[in-house]
A and B are shown apart, each in its own frame.
Chain A
Amino acid sequence: MAGQSVIGFSNISGDVFSSGVHSLFWLFVIVFLIFAAILVYHWQKYGGHSRTFFVIETVFAVGSLILGIIAFLALQSI
């Protein structure tokens, strides 16, 4: 009955709330990927193949992936 439950701090039904949060997540993912693509484009264009930009790209990608996975796992239990 988890899907039919009512969220504690509102009167919205669980299904509607859950689908809203899922939509928000995927919208966020799209916007985030656009920003990430713009950043990586800049780093490629102005940084060339320098080591600094490679390190920064790696740190950015790993950090984003970890946070994204945690958010996705949390989303599954909403």
Chain B
Amino acid sequence: MLSLDPGENLILEVHRHWYVLAAQALVMFVLAIAPLVFSSVISRFAPVHLSLPAEEASLKIFFYCLWLLILWVSFFVIWTNYYLDVWYVTDKRIISIDQVGVFHRKVSNIRFDSILDVSIEMRGAVQTLLKFGDIHIKTAIEQDKDFLMKNASNPDRVRKVIFDYHNITVERTRPTAVEDDSSHQQA
């Protein structure tokens, strides 16, 4: 569950694009029907003595169900990683949750005043047409490492929102800096 500070408002929730999940679901579907295709090819082209007798159909159904159950639970693990891998953009910070695996989760906070650069990368026709791509955030705190959201939906809009809030934060801190300068001059 997302816990925000008092007075902090959620602006944007950035997930990976549905295309990523659909592509993985398609792979799962191919794996699910592969035994059926394989079995029908074997029964059509193999010599009669290699094919299974009809009374062992229940054995085939049994193992096929186990295979489907493995794929079923794998799909939900993939969905969990997809759904919980998220960036929350609030009016104070970006909360980056990187769900690497079922037991591997990284949560980072990026404050707007520490952001040096936000860049997006959209590769190929699919990403351009469906409007998704990678978002890189370079911060002053971890200069050797970018914060990365792979295959994020609508990266252009996300970049714009982050820049807008970055500018608001910079504007907010500017008068304080001027006051500091004037106090130094008076001293």
**Footprint of B on A, CB under 8 Å?**
7-9, 21, 25, 28, 32, 35-36, 38-39, 42-43, 45-48, 52, 56, 60, 63-64, 67-68, 70-71, 74-75, 77-78
Contact = CB atoms under 8 A, between A and B. Distances in A.
Interface of B: 1, 52-53, 56, 58-59, 61-62, 65-66, 68-69, 72-73, 76-77, 79-80, 83-84, 102
A78 B66 CA distance: 15
Contacts of B62: 21, 25, 71, 74-75, 78
A28 B70 CA distance: 9
A15 B84 CA distance: 47
Interface residues of chain A: helix, strand, loop or mixed (majority): helix
Contact of A39 (B56, B58, B80): B80
Contact of A42 (B53, B56, B84): B84
Given A35-B73, A36-B73, A77-B58, A43 B52 contact: no
A34 B153 CA distance: 33
Nearest to B80: A42
Given A74-B58, A77-B58, A8 B66 contact: no
Given A28-B69, A39-B80, 20 more contacts: A7-B56, A8-B53, A9-B56, A21-B62, A25-B66, A28-B66, A47-B1, A48-B1, A56-B76, A60-B72, A64-B72, A67-B68, A70-B61, A70-B65, A71-B66, A74-B58, A74-B61, A74-B65, A78-B58, A78-B62
A67 B53 CA distance: 23
16 contacts: A28-B66, A35-B73, A39-B80, A42-B80, A42-B102, A60-B76, A63-B72, A64-B72, A67-B68, A71-B62, A71-B65, A71-B66, A74-B62, A75-B58, A77-B58, A78-B58
Contacts of B68: 67
Contacts of A32: 69, 73
A73 to B, nearest CB: 8
A25 B66 CA distance: 8
A9 B52 contact: yes
Contacts of B1: 45-48
Nearest to A38: B102
A49 B62 CA distance: 35
Give me the 8 closest cross-chain CB pairs, A-B, nearest first: A71-B65, A74-B62, A74-B61, A77-B58, A74-B58, A48-B1, A8-B53, A67-B69
A46 B73 CA distance: 18
Nearest to A2: B55
